[in-house]
Amino acid sequence: MRNWILASAMAMAMGASASAQPAPAPSPQRKLSVTVYNSDLALVEDVRTLDIASGRQRIEFKDVSPRIRSETVTLSAPGVGIVEQNFDYDLLSPETLMEKAVGQTVRIVRTNPGNGQQITETATVLAVNDGVVLQIGDRIEVLRDDGVPTRVIFDRVPPNLRARPTLSVTVDSASAGRRDARLSYLTNGLSWKADYVALFDEKAGKLDLQGWVTLTNTSGATFDDAELQLVAGTINLVRSQQEYWQREQYARQSRGRTAQAGVEAGEGGGARSAADYYLYPMPERTTIAQNQTKQIGFLDSKGVAAKKAYQYRAWGFQSQDEPTSADVVLKFVNSSSGGLGAQLPSGILRVYMRDAAGEPKFVGESSIPHTPRGSDLAVKTGEAFDVTVQPTLVKSEKVSTWRTRYTMKYVVRNARPEGVTVEVVQPGLWRDGKVLDESLASRRVNASTLAWDVAVPANGETELTFTVETGW
Amino acid sequence: MPSRGILGAALALVLVQPARAQTVSPAPDAVSITVYRDGRVDTADLYDPDSAPEGLVLVTETRTIDLPAGRARISFRGVAEGIVPQTAAIEGLPGEMVERNQDYDLLSPGALIAKSIGKTVRLVRTDRATGETVEQRAIVRSGPDGVMLEIDGELEALRCSGLPERLVFDEAPEGLTDKPTLSLVTRSPEAGRYKVRLTYLAVGVNWSADYVARIRPDGRTLDLTGWITLANRGNTTFTNAPTQVLAGRVQRDDDTRPTEVEAIALAARCWPLPGNGFARLPLLMDAPPPPPPPPRMATPVAEARVEDIVVTGSRIARQEELGDYKLYVLPDPTTVAANQTKQVLMLHEAAVPFERVYGFRVQQDELDDGAAGDDHPASVLLRLQNRKERGLGKPLPAGAVSVMEPDGGRLVLAGEDTIEDAPVGLPVEIEMGEAMDVAVRPTVVRAWTVRKKQRGAIEVAIANDKTVPIRFELAHDSGGWRRGFRIVSSSDRYAEVKGRPTWSLTLAPGERRLVRYTIEAEDE
């Protein structure tokens, strides 16, 4: 794993090629496009001008992400056929170099610790097994057996040993010349999520909502001046990345054949819907550095209609010794009429309110799912200090073997200086559940769940009692 | 120079780009903090680095920034160490914000090598005998796991020969940072000096509440003192900061945490050496490379110590409302130093009346198990009414309560309990432990079945061996799930309290009392 990290840090460092391959002439036309998915995955498309000779040749790409999924690499260029693709990760180190030097000659330089005198000899490496065994002339010795400082000098690097993992593609070109080539691959180590900041004004019943894309790059590579787009949605990549990618790859290969270089330009801003997910093209090219968390704003809505609500959800029909705080929930509608109306990719929504001095203070956070336009949002920010609910099972009676009648009492208390309404939700009604008696009118949320809106005066309490009968 | 690879193209492109204006904001002018918690925190945990909950703090900084016109990158230094970068927000900048970044590609001995691959550095060797140094140009050919150098077209390994040798770099590589750094890219219409406000959430600061209840000699009232303990487990000192703590349960998400950062270590492994396997050969003058800095973890490091305990109790924190929480504003700006625990008075109420109640709960499940007929001690609890007219009427953030009782002129600890967040209006009950002189013996005297329903006749004997009259509350706990549970008959009057039939009794000194009742439940 360390090799990857290391290689990552130097993605942009230029090294000489260890292999004897002729490198194509540098070309300034390079266009990077990075599409990042929610789940630690990104599609990198790298369009660059390559000078490709006629015939069979190997092209090396050293600047790809070290966390590349090499099985997903596609190189396409007009008039070029792919012979094979290799991803080499035999890394150069003293250890590997010595191992590859078995049977070959090296020079050893001994330094006399007393007077600094140096003696140079030629040696053949016989074996590297828990120590290096050398043949020097007609003697067999172990390297540095005596602890005397000894340098080992190698005259060359074996071609397979590289400073960092390297992608190479062997191609067969019908003609020589410069042309645009498109290299695309999937890589791990890039992911994004949304972060929202909601400044809630309780009195005005409004909130200001800002949305940020938070992109994290630990892939090992830096993507310079890249066109960036983000895909929101749970696409089948998550369940079957391989299968999805294979389909995508076929599509891309056919596109490559028609020499359609370049990336489809997105309309700046707003999300574009592509099939079952949403694409967010970022308005400007940006550099995504290794070990970087990058945030780009994508949403800024002011005056979204919002209100605070109190909720309490019971756990069944039972008594509780201590009162429980009601949940505080921020409710708003993701619609144009409500002042919003944009797809909200999943992420964490952090809510702030102004304190007595007018300073915004954090009041809680919750994650929200991918939220399409028109959805209702209810975000729990915390629990109310002053609004509590205490349930008591007053009576449970057997009606028949499978039916029981429960009488519940909920004491809803409010220590706030203003009246509040608490939604008390009672799950647990099973077959043929019905209300026999209730002190307030209930709502049937679904087959097994009832809800009451309990109004509680300032510094007061309200008792909700009801009797239900339900089968198991 | 060997021929450049394809990458040369990309590099050239980067180099010709105009450099962006860089602005560094070294430190905040002023800072204020609000400390959060999600529920009760044990003060003992705040002192224990291993179990200390992370806590959460909202940091608000004001900074002065000199901004050039056009696109500029502003780096913020001196932010709290536990910063959660995605929560950062800035106000007061002109123009538009393009993006904000946190960079954590750290400068370390390993990163220095990694970024130098393919570059020319200087190799300096020192002769042990003469002390003379020899310097050679070398090209770094591999990374920090095992460094190979190209010298005059030949390869040698770094630090495998046993000679004292070091690498000298001409400059620190670009893009590496000493610690994770928050930065913004903005585009401003004109240059100028701006006052901005930077806010963010960070971990590493937490708080707890503790109460001391001193029972007065009259035995009917107590003095209640509440303390806020503020613990800064991080390495960031907030200097002269207006400080608030927030009581109540704030909803949190696990993803709100600092970036986990790992520095690249310099391992510099060699080929196998005799007896050493793959390790580097230790040599006299060949000092080992400095150890990699420990990875910055989200939790405080284990050796973090709490050194200072500062008690500033002369003034009381002011309580304000924030949404549905209670905000406590510390009386003065204070310096919350790194690895410091600070205590501030939050509440002081004198002569709060209380009631001492002895109690016992008959557990029906235990009766069924046949564990009946033994003497059990009654429990003792103090009950306060949290109302203004009963001497209190203050929200009480969850915490531990120590009850002190005068005994022969000295104060003794009578018991400790925890309370949850207690709003005004509800009773507060503090369980102090078991009573020495009040014994309870529940017995099932008869069990039978009537029309497929189980019945049980229960007798509870209560003995008050104290020299004072006591208030006693006996409750019957049916286990909660029994269908059709009811009291068929009872020798004494009872009421439903917290869903249990409860008998409220007063026992004179030395009195013995027998409570008899019959229960019924479905046979299932």
Report the 3 state secondary structure along B425-494. Answer: CCEEEEEEEEEEEEEEEEEEEEEEEECCEEEEEEEEEEEECCCCCEEEEEEEECCCCCCCCEEEEECCCC
- Residue A184 inside a domain? The answer is yes
Distance set, CA A228 to CA A37, A204, B15 (Å)? 11, 38, 21
The total domain count for chain A is 3
Decide if pLDDT at A466 tops 90: yes
Band the pLDDT of A414: cuts 50, 70, 90.
very high
CA A388 to the chain's CA centroid: 38
Decide if pLDDT at B302 tops 50: no
pLDDT for residue A71: 84
pLDDT for residue B33: 95
**B277·A50 Cβ contact <8 A:** no
pLDDT for residue B372: 53
Distance set, CA B18 to CA A227, B14, B21, B71, B72 (Å)? 18, 9, 9, 11, 12
Taking the C-alpha atoms of residue A382 and residue B36, their distance in angstroms, rounded to an integer, is 12
pLDDT-above-90 percentage for chain B: 49
pLDDT for residue B88: 92
Stretch A315-334: mean pLDDT: 91
Could you give the angle at the alpha carbon of B311 between the alpha carbons of B326 and B322, nearest 5°?
Answer: 10
Is A77 in the same domain as A99?
A: no
CB B323 within 8 A of CB A362: no
Among the ranges given (A219-233, A398-412, B46-60), the one the predictor scored with the smallest mean pLDDT: B46-60
By Cβ distance, the residue of A197, A365, A393 closest to B251 is A365
pLDDT for residue A146: 84
- From the number of C-beta atoms within 10 Å of its C-beta (0-12, 13-18, 19+), residue B17 rates as exposed
Domain end position, chosen among A122, A153, A184: A153
Taking the C-alpha atoms of residue A203 and residue B304, their distance in angstroms, rounded to an integer, is 44
**B160·A94 Cβ contact <8 A:** yes
Decide if pLDDT at B502 tops 90: yes
pLDDT for residue B423: 94
The DSSP secondary-structure symbol of A276 reads: T
Is A388 in the same domain as A436?
A: yes
Bridge pairing between strands B340-363 and B470-477: parallel
pLDDT for residue A13: 31
Taking the C-alpha atoms of residue B63 and residue B77, their distance in angstroms, rounded to an integer, is 11
Taking the C-alpha atoms of residue A47 and residue A260, their distance in angstroms, rounded to an integer, is 11
A197 vs B contacts (CB less than 8 Å)? 89
pLDDT for residue A271: 54
By Cβ distance, the residue of B88, B265, B423 closest to A388 is B423
Band the pLDDT of B358: cuts 50, 70, 90.
very high
Stretch A34-51: mean pLDDT: 90
> Which residues, numbered 196 to 225 in chain B, qualify as contacts with chain A under a Cβ-Cβ cut-off of 8 Å?
199, 201
- Residue A302 inside a domain? The answer is no
CB A80 within 8 A of CB A298: no
CB of A97 within 8 Å of a chain B CB? The answer is yes
Stretch B365-377: mean pLDDT: 70
Residues 6+ apart with CB under 8 A from B229: B43, B46, B207, B208, B209, B210, B341, B342, B343
Out of A158-172, B7-21, B320-334, the most confident range is: B320-334
pLDDT for residue B305: 39
pLDDT for residue B288: 38
Q: From A320, which residue of chain B is nearest by alpha-carbon distance? A: B498
A416 vs B contacts (CB less than 8 Å)? 324
More confident position, B326 or A268: B326
Taking the C-alpha atoms of residue B403 and residue B417, their distance in angstroms, rounded to an integer, is 8
Radius of gyration from C-alpha coordinates of chain B: 35
pLDDT for residue A275: 54
Q: How do residues A84-123 score in pLDDT, each as one tens digit? A: 888 887 888 898 899 889 999 999 999 888 888 889 999 9
- B325 min Cα distance to partner chain A (Å): 6
Of B93, B99, B203, which to mutate for an interface test with A (greatest number of A Cβ within 10 Å)? B99
CB A362 within 8 A of CB A384: no
pLDDT for residue B312: 47
CB of A289 within 8 Å of a chain B CB? The answer is yes
- Residue A410 inside a domain? The answer is yes
Please give the structure tokens belonging to residue A463.
């008792």
Q: Count of residues for chain A?
A: 472
A320 vs B contacts (CB less than 8 Å)? 498-499
- Residue A180 inside a domain? The answer is yes
- Residue A171 inside a domain? The answer is yes
**A291·B264 Cβ contact <8 A:** no
Decide if pLDDT at A354 tops 50: yes
Is A376 in the same domain as A453?
A: yes
**B423·A5 Cβ contact <8 A:** no
Please give the structure tokens belonging to residue B265.
């270590």
More confident position, A18 or B435: B435
Please give the structure tokens belonging to residue A130.
């828990």
pLDDT for residue B369: 55
Domain end position, chosen among A109, A124, A153: A153
pLDDT for residue B304: 36
β-partners of residue B402 are B212, B416
Is A140 in the same domain as A169?
A: no
Could you give the angle at the alpha carbon of B232 between the alpha carbons of B230 and B237, nearest 5°?
Answer: 120
Residue type, B65: I
- Residue A294 inside a domain? The answer is no
Stretch B494-499: mean pLDDT: 89
pLDDT for residue A29: 57
Stretch A242-249: mean pLDDT: 50
Residues 6+ apart with CB under 8 A from A72: A184, A185, A186, A245, A249
The DSSP secondary-structure symbol of B316 reads: E
Band the pLDDT of B263: cuts 50, 70, 90.
confident
pLDDT for residue B368: 61
Q: DSSP E strands: which ranges in A236-291?
A: 272-274, 277-281, 286-288
Is A46 in the same domain as A186?
A: yes
Distance set, CA B290 to CA A9, A392, B162 (Å)? 20, 64, 17
Taking the C-alpha atoms of residue B266 and residue B166, their distance in angstroms, rounded to an integer, is 13
Decide if pLDDT at A9 tops 50: no
- From the number of C-beta atoms within 10 Å of its C-beta (0-12, 13-18, 19+), residue B389 rates as exposed
- Residue A420 inside a domain? The answer is yes
Residue A410 CB coordination number (10 Å): 23
Stretch B137-144: mean pLDDT: 91
A325 vs B contacts (CB less than 8 Å)? 248-249, 421
pLDDT for residue A235: 57
CB of B487 within 8 Å of a chain A CB? The answer is no
Please give the structure tokens belonging to residue B322.
């924030």
**B6·A61 Cβ contact <8 A:** yes
pLDDT-above-70 percentage for chain A: 85
Taking the C-alpha atoms of residue B514 and residue B506, their distance in angstroms, rounded to an integer, is 12
pTM above 0.90, yes or no: no
Taking the C-alpha atoms of residue A4 and residue B511, their distance in angstroms, rounded to an integer, is 80
Closest by alpha carbon to B330, among B316, B341, B309, B320? Answer: B316
Among the ranges given (A250-254, B50-54, B94-98, B123-127), the one the predictor scored with the smallest mean pLDDT: A250-254
Could you give the angle at the alpha carbon of B463 between the alpha carbons of B457 and B469, nearest 5°?
Answer: 125
Mean pLDDT of chain B: 84
Taking the C-alpha atoms of residue A458 and residue A419, their distance in angstroms, rounded to an integer, is 4
Band the pLDDT of B212: cuts 50, 70, 90.
very high
The DSSP secondary-structure symbol of B296 reads: B
Stretch A145-165: mean pLDDT: 85
By Cβ distance, the residue of A6, A98, A365 closest to B143 is A6
Bridge pairing between strands A223-232 and A30-37: parallel
The DSSP secondary-structure symbol of A99 reads: H
Q: DSSP E strands: which ranges in B108-252?
A: 120-126, 133-140, 148-151, 154-157, 165-168, 181-188, 192-202, 205-215, 221-232, 238-241, 243-247, 249-250
Stretch B477-501: mean pLDDT: 86
Decide if pLDDT at B181 tops 70: yes
pLDDT for residue B283: 36
pLDDT for residue B303: 36
Radius of gyration from C-alpha coordinates of chain A: 34
Decide if pLDDT at B235 tops 60: yes
- A82 min Cα distance to partner chain B (Å): 18
**B421·A364 Cβ contact <8 A:** no
CATH 2.60.40.290 intervals, chain B: 350-393+423-522
Is A268 in the same domain as A183?
A: yes
Bridge pairing between strands B376-385 and B340-363: antiparallel
Decide if pLDDT at B417 tops 70: yes
Among the ranges given (A65-69, A255-259, A277-281, B452-456), the one the predictor scored with the smallest mean pLDDT: A255-259
**Residue A272 structural domain:** 2-90+165-279
CB of A14 within 8 Å of a chain B CB? The answer is yes
Is A67 in the same domain as A111?
A: no
Decide if pLDDT at B313 tops 70: no
Stretch B250-260: mean pLDDT: 90
β-partners of residue A429 are none
pLDDT for residue B260: 86
Decide if pLDDT at A367 tops 80: yes
- Residue A226 inside a domain? The answer is yes
Phi-psi region of A445 (alpha: psi -120 to 50; beta: other; left: phi over 0): alpha
- B12 min Cα distance to partner chain A (Å): 7
Is A15 in the same domain as A108?
A: no
Q: How do residues B328-343 score in pLDDT, each as one tens digit? A: 999 889 898 888 888 9
CB of A363 within 8 Å of a chain B CB? The answer is yes
Is A22 in the same domain as A37?
A: yes
The fold for domain B350-393+423-522 equals Immunoglobulin-like (2.60.40)
pLDDT for residue B481: 59
Of A1, A2, A3, A6, which to mutate for an interface test with B (greatest number of B Cβ within 10 Å)? A6
pLDDT for residue B129: 80
Bridge pairing between strands A460-471 and B148-151: unpaired
Residue type, B129: A
Is A184 in the same domain as A36?
A: yes
CB of A276 within 8 Å of a chain B CB? The answer is no
Of B35, B86, B253, which to mutate for an interface test with A (greatest number of A Cβ within 10 Å)? B86
Taking the C-alpha atoms of residue B71 and residue A392, their distance in angstroms, rounded to an integer, is 63
CB A225 within 8 A of CB A285: yes
Query: Does ipTM top 0.85?
Result: no
Task: Give the 3-state secondary structure of B61-104.
Answer: EEEEEEECCEEEEEEECCCCCCECHHHCEEECCCCEEEEEEEEC
**B105·A291 Cβ contact <8 A:** yes
Q: Count of residues for chain B?
A: 524
Stretch B246-255: mean pLDDT: 92
- B417 min Cα distance to partner chain A (Å): 15
**B129·A17 Cβ contact <8 A:** no
More confident position, B103 or A13: B103
Q: How do residues B427-460 score in pLDDT, each as one tens digit? A: 999 999 999 899 999 988 888 988 888 898 999 9
